[in-house]
A and B are shown apart, each in its own frame.
Chain A
Amino acid sequence: MTDAALAPERLPVGAIERRGLGWWGLLCLIATEGALFFYLLFSYFYFDVQMHREWLPRELPSLGLALPNTAILLLSSVAAWIGERGVRRGARWQLLLGLLGALVLGAVFVSIQLMEWQSRAASIRASTYGSMYYTVTGFHMAHVVVGLAVLLMVLVWSALGYFDRRRNAPVLIGNAYWHFVDAVWLAVFTTFYITPRLW
């Protein structure tokens, strides 16, 4: 009656690298979080379009801290990537050091960003620009802090020896989230620090 066309090969059990369900869940998370930042920046440009240059502060945010800080965040992504290559090669120390490097560089980014917040005279209450600036960078900071917590947990689990060449989905997922948070910063940085200088 039935055509038993199904002659299964050996199949992976549970999440192997990017083939598991968790990776697909992460893609959905990135889609919806990406949309959140799209709407944040949409709001910024809405003000920009409606009020032209009037709403910008007299002093644009300085590149002095932000530019090196951007480089630090990107380096952090590179470190995470080096760690990820480690777990794929089965090099445990490379994994641990890479994650640790990403974590430290991320923490430096947060401290510098806090300094930048303190150095700015304008407050969140002062103007729509202030409201927008602190809300967008605040949302991003919250994502950096969550990303650091994720990296920390992945580091702990790696130290406990949970991952190997194939069984490493949490490392790939945690790192991909971190790369996403860094990519969002590039969009935020470009919006607040670069675009007002262009026209």
Chain B
Amino acid sequence: MTLVETERRPEIASTATSYGRGLEQIWKTEPGIAGWISTVDHKEIGHRYIVTSFVFLILGGFEALIMRLQLARPEQHLLTPEQYNQLFSTHGMTMIFLYALPILSGFSNYLWPLIFGSRDMAFPRLNALSYWVYLASGIFMYAGFLIGAGPNDGWFNYVPYAERPYNPGLNMDFYALGMVFYGLSTTVGAANFVVTFLRMRAPGMSINRVPIMTWGTLTASAANLLVVPSVSLAFFMLWMDRQFSTHFFDVNQQGQPLLWQHLFWIFAHPWVYVVVLPAMGMVSEGLPVFCRRPLVGYTPVALSTVATMVLGFGVWVHHMFATGLPNLALSFFSSTSIMISIPSAVAVFAWIATIWLGRPVITTAFLFFASMIVLFVIGGVSGFMTGSVPVDWQLTDTYFIVAHIHYVLIGINVFPVVGAVYFWFPKMTGRLLDERLGKWNFWTMFIGFNLGFLPMHLTGLYGMPRRVYTYPAGMGWDTLNMVTSIGSLLFAIGVLLLLVNVVVSLRGGRIAGANPWDADTLEWSVSSPPPSYNFAVIPEVASRHPLWEDRLGEAANRSSVRQGLILDHGRETIVTTPLDGDLDLIAKMPEDSYSPFILTVGASAGFTGALLHWWWLAGASAAVVAGALIAWLWPRRSLAQAAGAGDD
């Protein structure tokens, strides 16, 4: 029996001593298909998240373009009403679930261990599982769409129309089971982010020195742990109603359709913050780098991020103002909805002050980050308006709401994300994106987006209802719709320019070096792309801006990135205390593993079995899942999970 060490005094060395090759041996993933399936490297998983969610963004974009073609002129019959229903529902499902959060999880997965000075996320295998389940659930839901059984009741899927008598196909079953499946991915990913934030930071990175970006994902993840069960339960109940004749939402048997709306929006309103707070974090991180100064108001911005989420739990009924709830409830939820603009405004003023007090360098990334402030204000003001009950009664279910949601989701998610691509692409690939093409990319997207969606507010004010597959001529909507269609096409061309830039720059882009933007956080202290083990020695942090300390002269001490803990007895990294970032223990990190992939295959078969009522398949899959879990959790001496001879 091997001896399992229980304690060790970690050695300190400088990066000058060359033992990086030993670390490479320890951390590298095997080449070939085996390594591809079993890898748990957060950088690889981050890449996959980003690429997969961009594929979904493009699919959702095509769906939108087809709809805009249909709506460009009145009385068109390019699409049947049913096709239109499935298109707008699938477009919503794709953008809101399969693109908006996973793209942010991709960036966080890639960046967090690098930004925290660690070697991986807290749970590397769980990280792999969260990606595989995301991919599998996305394919599952799209399988429905491809066989003509996509969701057709909007992304929020109100009952009773989603119930079986009105919707007898498999459409809703694909969507319901797919969303429960997808919820697993979000949940395990959220747990991983929370524990990584609390425990995996470099020594010395106390809670007030955490890079500002990570507050967004932390807050969103904590919220996800609390609200995802609500929507998973709602979809499960819907599926039970449809397949096992329960009566949760069945009006004829005392069911309560409004219960669906409550459970859905208890989840889905916080979800709006889940898909924007991490993106706002990217802006808070990237914008100051191009303003050549630290963010103005770190503490208020961090606190307002958390405050937004706390208030965000209490606003869901503003989606239900028109359902006849008591006035007292409406007043309460209206006031929280209006109050939430206060923490949002804190962030906006912090960004403006940072630009004002800095010396901005106008790069493409800067343009995307800075323009987001404008779009955020427009989306915020229209949200503020609809937070008021009488205004909402007038505008609900019109194109005004569609304009609002797109200013929020494109303005505060897509624009920061594209900025983040320009900002971190050099770190991920070692090459810079082309700036000239980048400027074209930005202006096409910015003009296209505003041309498409600013007039849409008017379309709504003129009374055009959302979700109609066509409309009569002469209602005052004709020109507006044509302009919106042209704008959306221009916006799509802008996204295409981004893809062109990525493809061209991957091969021929300028070599970036470790820190092309002269930025301040730890990920810029390692090579681009980073080695498999991230850091040859674990850095020690003495301030919020480890790479800017000499010029800022704020901190009494200096961070140490060239000298630190070695930790090379197998895959190891350091675990620190949640608040002070003091050394706590040496974590043994898992080897690459097939369990997450096998578990996902098992679960996919299980959900397919449930969909088709092939109970034998569901049962067999449950056995596969249980087996994969036991193999995964089996205590290993190599990971110091089991005691060995000589201990105790």
Are A19 and B191 neighbours in the complex by a CB distance under 8 Å?
A: no
**Known interface pairs A3-B557, A11-B585. Does A29 touch B564 (Cβ–Cβ under 8 Å)?**
no
Q: Report A177 CB to chain B, min CB distance, Å.
A: 12
Are B233 and A39 neighbours in the complex by a CB distance under 8 Å?
A: yes
Q: In the complex, A35 Cα to B183 Cα: how many Å?
A: 13
Are B122 and A25 neighbours in the complex by a CB distance under 8 Å?
A: yes
Are A127 and B585 neighbours in the complex by a CB distance under 8 Å?
A: no
**Quick check: is B583 within 8 A (CB to CB) of the other chain?**
yes
Q: In the complex, A164 Cα to B643 Cα: how many Å?
A: 6
Are B226 and A167 neighbours in the complex by a CB distance under 8 Å?
A: no
Per-position binary interface string of chain B over residues 1-38, scored 1 when its CB falls under 8 Å from any chain A CB and 0 otherwise: 00011111110100000000000000000000000000
Q: Report A46 CB to chain B, min CB distance, Å.
A: 5
Give the chain B neighbours of A170 by CB distance below 8 A: 633, 635, 641
**Known interface pairs A11-B8, A11-B583. Does A6 touch B540 (Cβ–Cβ under 8 Å)?**
yes
Partner of A46, one of B256, B558, B560, B630: B256
Give the chain B neighbours of A90 by CB distance below 8 A: 648
Interface residues in A20-68 (C-beta closer than 8 Å to B) = 20-21, 24-25, 28-29, 31-33, 35-36, 38-40, 42-43, 46-47, 50-51, 54-55
**Quick check: is B176 within 8 A (CB to CB) of the other chain?**
no
Per-position binary interface string of chain B over residues 240-280, scored 1 when its CB falls under 8 Å from any chain A CB and 0 otherwise: 10001111101001111001001100100000000000000
**Quick check: is B378 within 8 A (CB to CB) of the other chain?**
no
Partner of A128, one of B203, B248, B262, B587: B248
Are B248 and A43 neighbours in the complex by a CB distance under 8 Å?
A: yes
**Quick check: is A121 within 8 A (CB to CB) of the other chain?**
no
Partner of B558, one of A1, A31, A135: A1
Give the chain A neighbours of B588 by CB distance below 8 A: 13-14
Are B254 and A5 neighbours in the complex by a CB distance under 8 Å?
A: no
Give the chain B neighbours of A9 by CB distance below 8 A: 9, 583
Per-position binary interface string of chain B over residues 85-125, scored 1 when its CB falls under 8 Å from any chain A CB and 0 otherwise: 00000000000000000000000000000000000001100
Are A3 and B626 neighbours in the complex by a CB distance under 8 Å?
A: no
Q: In the complex, A3 Cα to B549 Cα: how many Å?
A: 13
Q: Which residue of A lies closest to B236 (CB)?
A: A135
Are A21 and B643 neighbours in the complex by a CB distance under 8 Å?
A: no
**Quick check: is B195 within 8 A (CB to CB) of the other chain?**
yes
**Quick check: is B146 within 8 A (CB to CB) of the other chain?**
no
A3-B542, A128-B253, A162-B642 given; name 20 further pairs at CB < 8 Å.
A2-B560, A3-B560, A6-B12, A8-B565, A13-B8, A21-B199, A21-B587, A28-B191, A32-B187, A32-B228, A39-B266, A47-B254, A51-B254, A124-B246, A125-B247, A130-B246, A135-B237, A135-B246, A166-B647, A169-B641
Q: Which A positions have Cβ atoms within 8 angstroms of B?
A: 1-6, 8-16, 19-21, 24-25, 28-29, 31-33, 35-36, 38-40, 42-43, 46-47, 50-51, 54-55, 90, 124-125, 127-128, 130-132, 135, 149, 153, 157, 161-167, 169-170
A-B contact pairs, 17 of them (CB 8 A): A11-B7, A11-B584, A12-B6, A14-B586, A21-B575, A24-B122, A24-B194, A25-B122, A28-B194, A35-B227, A43-B237, A124-B246, A125-B246, A128-B254, A132-B248, A153-B633, A163-B642
